[in-house]
Copies of this chain bind each other. A is one copy, B any other.
Amino acid sequence: MSVTPKYLTGDKAAIQEFLDKYDVFLFDCDGVLWSGDLIFEGTVETLEMLRQKGKQVVFVTNNSTKSRADYKKKLATLGIPADIEEIFSSSYSASIYISRILSLPPTKRKVFVLGESGIEQELTAESVPFIGGTDPSYNRTITPADYGQIVSGDRSLIDPEVGVVLVGLDFHINYLKLALAYHYIQRGAVFLATNVDSTLPNAGSLFPGAGTISAPLVKMLGGREPVSLGKPSQAMMEAVCGKFRFERGRACMVGDRLDTDIRFGIEGGLGGTLAVLTGVNSKDDFLRGEVRPAAYVDGLKDLLEGA
A positions within 8 Å CB-CB of B: 36-37, 141-142, 144, 147-148, 150-151, 170-175, 178-179, 182-183, 186, 198-199, 202-209, 211-213, 215-220, 222
Pick from B202, B215, B220, B222: contact of A218, CB under 8 Å: B215
- A212-B178 in contact (CB<8A): yes
Q: How far is the CA of A213 from the CA of B220 in the complex (A)?
A: 11
- A204-B174 in contact (CB<8A): no
Pick from B172, B220, B222: contact of A212, CB under 8 Å: B220
**How many chain copies does the complex carry?**
2
In the assembled complex, how far is the CB of residue A48 from the closest CB belonging to chain B, in whole angstroms?
29
- A178-B220 in contact (CB<8A): no
Q: How far is the CA of A208 from the CA of B217 in the complex (A)?
A: 8
Task: Decide yes or no: A175 and B216 within 8 Å by CB, A147-B203, A203-B147 being known contacts.
Answer: no
Tell me the nearest residue of chain B to A139, going by C-beta: B141
List the 7 shortest-distance A-B pairs measured between CB atoms, nearest first: A212-B216, A147-B203, A215-B215, A215-B219, A151-B205, A151-B203, A148-B203
In the assembled complex, how far is the CB of residue A188 from the closest CB belonging to chain B, in whole angstroms?
15
Tell me the nearest residue of chain B to A176, going by C-beta: B171
- B172-A173 in contact (CB<8A): no
In the assembled complex, how far is the CB of residue A65 from the closest CB belonging to chain B, in whole angstroms?
11
Q: How far is the CA of A150 from the CA of B208 in the complex (A)?
A: 13
Tell me the nearest residue of chain B to A208, going by C-beta: B178
Which chain B positions have C-beta within 8 A of A208? 175, 178-179, 182, 216, 220
- A36-B147 in contact (CB<8A): yes
Which chain B positions have C-beta within 8 A of A213? 216
- B175-A198 in contact (CB<8A): no
Q: How far is the CA of A219 from the CA of B225 in the complex (A)?
A: 12
Task: Decide yes or no: A207 and B179 within 8 Å by CB, A212-B216, A213-B216 being known contacts.
Answer: yes
In the assembled complex, how far is the CB of residue A156 from the closest CB belonging to chain B, in whole angstroms?
15
Task: Decide yes or no: A198 and B222 within 8 Å by CB, A175-B208, A212-B216 being known contacts.
Answer: yes
In the assembled complex, how far is the CB of residue A132 from the closest CB belonging to chain B, in whole angstroms?
16
Which chain B positions have C-beta within 8 A of A183? 205
